[in-house]
Amino acid sequence: MLVVWIVVMAVYLYINIYLEEALVVSAIVFPVVAAIPVATMIPFLRSVGFSWEDKFSVLVVTMWLGIVIWFFAELVWCWYYNLYWGVGEPYPSVADVFYVVAYFPIIFGLSVYGYSIYKTIAPEISKKELIFGTVLSVVLGIIVAWLSWWMVVLSYEGEPIPFVELILNALYVGLDAILLVIVVFEVMVIKGRLGRVFMLFAVSMGLIVVYDLIYAYLDVTGALFDGHWSELLDLASYMVDAAAFYEISSLLE
Amino acid sequence: MKPNVILILLIFLSFTALVNSTFALESVGYPGVDEGYNYSWVFSNGTKLELDVINIKNRSYEDYFVLTYHIKASGLIERDVYVNISSDEYYLVFFNETFGGILRFLIWNVSLLEENHSEFGISSIDYVSYWFGLEPRVAVKFDFEGKTFLVDYGTGLLINAEDEGNTIVRLLDTNAIPKNALIVSVILVILVSAIAAFLAYRSRRGGNIENR
């Protein structure tokens, strides 16, 4: 994975120097990197299984499902729009349907797993920890949602936002905020008892939220293009997801 | 990979991405566009399009830029075109080299173009719906120097150009994107997935998960 990551970084360094190749090269790189977590999990699917009683299996399977949907989103964006039609930054597009839908299993899995651990260890959690975790996660969620929405509005420069884009923008902003609230709350309150796999997923989701913020900022400033450096954050989230799935091998007895 | 290695990588990555997103505003400019540069496309029907950049007044993203192009497309158009992409005074248009090398029209503020289109030699402007691959989309249709142009509203891609109802050139030429890029991407996805799955499979220690 480290080798792949070094290659990806070198490629991004190259395309940010030779910008005219950025669209094509990033469209090649994205599906490849998005495929890694999908493929990494396949050998473990049977071992993990799926049982509603076993919340770890719910977490892993829903995360994998979400990442598979994101992989399809990358295929549509990169192969269909970027490489077949030559369109950079297709928005709104069919790819957005996949990007948005993927949030739902991911948020569901993270919530169900976190809640099951929380229920088990609730007596050990102090009121102070609970209040601090709740306030911090909600405040962060509100800040991120507000910042993102503000940048979305700015990017339209006073023009009315088309209905489909309004719905998509609201979904992206809202779902990112919900994701952040859940992850921060669970990390702050439940902490190490969540396990390494969950922590890696949390890092991955954090990277996505940060990337979406930078994406919105770049959109406002007009500096956005396919192949921008900031995409490394999105690619890193796939690599961290792959590391999380790979980590499952250490749990196998 | 150990978690601390991942953490170091992520910190480095976040820092680079943040720094770069700030500096990109100043340094990116408009790739591929330089004064004196000549662009040339030959489309599948033999139409040749030449584009000379005569001058560029401003290249920063903040103020966008002002370009003067000389455009010559066999049987289609030949003239100097003044393009001011940021100002409220000019709203059209014209050929624009993008990152992927695709030819586009820029439609800047179409609603104002509607009001002022005669200033640009456009005799009529209309909207039509059409299919872009899998999606129903809207195109801006306008007549310019006796030719009818169809330009995608959202992407600015020139879909079609007609002369008295006959299609004389189809400028949406995806040949600008190397077709082997798609093949390379498909092969890499299969190859890397297979390697990732194989490495993961090899790391399996046996049966089911016991220590959750």
From the list A29, A22, A80, A27, the residue with the least C-alpha distance to A225 is A22
Residue of A32, A54, A164, A241 for testing the chain B interface, max B β-carbons within 10 Å = A32
Task: With beta carbons less than 8 A apart as the criterion, state whether A249 and A217 touch.
Answer: no
From the list A220, A19, A218, A85, the residue with the least C-alpha distance to B97 is A19
Task: With beta carbons less than 8 A apart as the criterion, state whether B135 and A94 touch.
Answer: yes
Chain A residues in contact with B204 by the CB 8 A cut-off are 43-44, 47, 249, 252
State the average pLDDT for chain A: 87
What pLDDT does A250 receive? 75
Task: With beta carbons less than 8 A apart as the criterion, state whether B98 and A90 touch.
Answer: no
By DSSP bridging, strand B135-144 and strand B147-152 are antiparallel
Phi, then psi, of B177 in degrees rounded to 5: -90, 125
pTM here is 0.68
Q: Please indicate whether, in this complex, the C-beta atoms of B102 and A86 are within 8 angstroms of each other.
A: yes
DSSP helix/strand/coil, B55: strand
**Is pLDDT larger for residue B52 or for residue A244?**
A244
Q: What is the pLDDT of residues B70-125, one digit of tens each?
A: 555 555 445 454 444 443 332 233 333 332 333 334 444 455 556 656 655 667 77
Enumerate residues 6+ apart whose C-beta is below 8 A from B76.
Answer: B47, B49, B147, B161, B163, B168, B169
Using the structure block, give the residue that is written with the tokens 């993008």. Answer: B98
Min mean pLDDT across A63-72, A179-188, B83-92, B203-212 is at B83-92
Q: What is the pLDDT of residues A221-232, one digit of tens each?
A: 767 777 888 899
Using the structure block, give the residue that is written with the tokens 């957005």. Answer: A96
What pLDDT does A155 receive? 80
* Burial class for B140, CB neighbours closer than 10 Å (0-12, 13-18, 19+): buried
How far does the CA of residue A252 sit from the closest CA of chain B (Å)? 5
Distance (Å, whole) CA A89 – CA A82 = 8
Q: What is the pLDDT of residues A102-159, one digit of tens each?
A: 999 999 999 999 899 888 888 888 888 889 989 999 999 999 999 999 988 888 777 7
Does position A218 have pLDDT exceeding 70, yes or no?
yes
Q: Please indicate whether, in this complex, the C-beta atoms of B3 and A199 are within 8 angstroms of each other.
A: yes
Half-sphere exposure of A17 (CA within 13 A, CB side): 5
Which residues 77-106 of B are in CB contact (within 8 Å) with A?
A: 98-102
How far does the CA of residue B169 sit from the closest CA of chain A (Å)? 17
Residue B6 touches partner A, C-beta closer than 8 Å: yes
Chain B residues in contact with A27 by the CB 8 A cut-off are 181, 185
Does position B168 have pLDDT exceeding 50, yes or no?
no
Interface contacts (A, B; CB < 8 Å): 194
**Is pLDDT larger for residue B88 or for residue A70?**
A70
Enumerate residues 6+ apart whose C-beta is below 8 A from A96.
Answer: A73, A168
Report the pLDDT averaged over residues A25-30. Answer: 90
pLDDT band, residue A98 (cuts 50/70/90): very high
Half-sphere exposure of A36 (CA within 13 A, CB side): 23
Q: Please indicate whether, in this complex, the C-beta atoms of B20 and A228 are within 8 angstroms of each other.
A: yes
Whether the predicted interface score ipTM is above 0.90 = no
How far does the CA of residue B110 sit from the closest CA of chain A (Å)? 11
Q: Please indicate whether, in this complex, the C-beta atoms of B211 and A221 are within 8 angstroms of each other.
A: no
What pLDDT does A248 receive? 83
A144 vs A114, A188, B18, CA distance in Å?
A: 22, 17, 16
Say which of B14, B100, B209 has its CB closest to residue A86.
Answer: B100
| H or E element in which residue B80 lies | strand B77-84
Q: What angle do CA B172, B176, B177 make, to 5 degrees?
A: 110
What pLDDT does A17 receive? 76
Task: With beta carbons less than 8 A apart as the criterion, state whether B170 and B43 touch.
Answer: yes
Which residues 155-174 of B are in CB contact (within 8 Å) with A?
A: 155, 157, 174
Distance (Å, whole) CA B174 – CA B184 = 17
B117 vs B70, B92, B96, B107, B122, CA distance in Å?
A: 20, 8, 19, 12, 5
Chain A residues in contact with B25 by the CB 8 A cut-off are 221, 223
Q: Please indicate whether, in this complex, the C-beta atoms of B204 and A43 are within 8 angstroms of each other.
A: yes
Distance (Å, whole) CA A88 – CA B155 = 9
What pLDDT does B159 receive? 62
Q: Please indicate whether, in this complex, the C-beta atoms of A229 and B21 are within 8 angstroms of each other.
A: yes
Q: Where are the alpha helices (DSSP H) in chain B?
A: 3-27, 110-116, 179-203
Q: What is the pLDDT of residues B136-153, one digit of tens each?
A: 677 778 776 666 777 666
Distance (Å, whole) CA A137 – CA A178 = 9
Q: What is the DSSP string of B168-195?
A: EE----GGGS-HHHHHHHHHHHHHHHHH
* Sheet architecture: strand order including B158-163: B122-132, B135-144, B147-152, B158-163, B166-169
Distance (Å, whole) CA A207 – CA A231 = 10
What pLDDT does A229 receive? 86
Half-sphere exposure of A62 (CA within 13 A, CB side): 22
pLDDT band, residue A205 (cuts 50/70/90): very high
Task: With beta carbons less than 8 A apart as the criterion, state whether B180 and A224 touch.
Answer: no
Closest chain A residue to B180, measured at CA = A83
Q: Please indicate whether, in this complex, the C-beta atoms of B3 and A196 are within 8 angstroms of each other.
A: yes
Residue of A228, A229, A251 for testing the chain B interface, max B β-carbons within 10 Å = A229
Residue of A25, A54, A83, A187 for testing the chain B interface, max B β-carbons within 10 Å = A83
Distance (Å, whole) CA B76 – CA A158 = 36
Q: What angle do CA A168, B181, A94 make, to 5 degrees?
A: 20
DSSP helix/strand/coil, B210: coil
Phi, then psi, of B109 in degrees rounded to 5: 60, 75
Does position A191 have pLDDT exceeding 50, yes or no?
yes
pLDDT band, residue A37 (cuts 50/70/90): very high
Most confident of A16-25, A171-180, A210-219: A171-180
